[in-house]
Amino acid sequence: MSLALSDIQRIARLARIRIADQEAAALHDQLNEVFRLIGEMQAVDTSGVAPMAHAAELAQRLRADQATEPNQREKFQAIAPAVEAGLYLVPRVID
């Protein structure tokens, strides 16, 4: 199965990465090479095989419902691109 050029812009949109049209053409070739490699999987009969989601098949641990981390808002906001009055600034989303 191969990707259409239009797929590149569609997945770039889903991934929130702007891709210029000439860049999309080069990516289209490269990704199709990768998908040819990935396609080798399709010949394998895996009926009845349980998927392995994780190397260590663990149950999620639970912990007591207690705050364990101190408030470090100032420290964390000091490295943010834009903050004001303790809030992260982003472009207006509601007019």
Partner 1 sequence: MIDATVKTLSAGLSAGKLSAVELAEEFLRRIDAHNGRINAFITVDRDLTLAEARRADDLRAAGKAGPLTGIPIAQKDIFCADGWLTTCGSKMLSNFVAPYDATVIAKFKQAGAVNLGKTNMDEFAMGSSNETSFYGSVKNPWNDQMVPGGSSGGSAAAVAARLAPAATGTDTGGSIRQPAALCGITGIKPTYGICSRYGMIAFASSLDQAGPMAKTAEDCALLLNTMAGFDPRDSTSLERPSEDYARDLDRPLSGLRIGLPREFFAAGLEQEVAAAILAAVEELKKLGATTVEVTLANAKLAIPVYYVLAPAEASSNLARFDGVRYGYRAPEYTDLDDMYCKTRAQGFGAEVKRRILIGTYVLSAGYYDAYYLQAQKIRRLIADDFAQAFKVCDVIAGPTAPNTAFKLGAKTDDPVQMYLNDLYTIPANLAGLPGMSLPCGFDRRGLPIGLQLVGDYFAEARMLNVAHQYQLATDWHMRKPTL
Residues that bind partner 1 (CB under 8 A): 1, 3, 7-8, 11-12, 14-19, 27, 30-31, 33-42, 44, 46, 49-56, 58, 60-61, 63, 72, 75-76, 78-82, 88, 90-93
Least distance CB 31 / partner 1 (angstroms): 6
SS3 assignment for the chain: CCCCHHHHHHHHHHCCCCCCHHHHHHHHHHHHHHHHHHHHHHHCCCCCCCCCCCCCCCCCCCCCCCCCCCCCHHHHHCCCCCEECCEECCCCCCC
Give the nearer residue to partner 1 in terms of CB position, either 25 or 38. Answer: 38
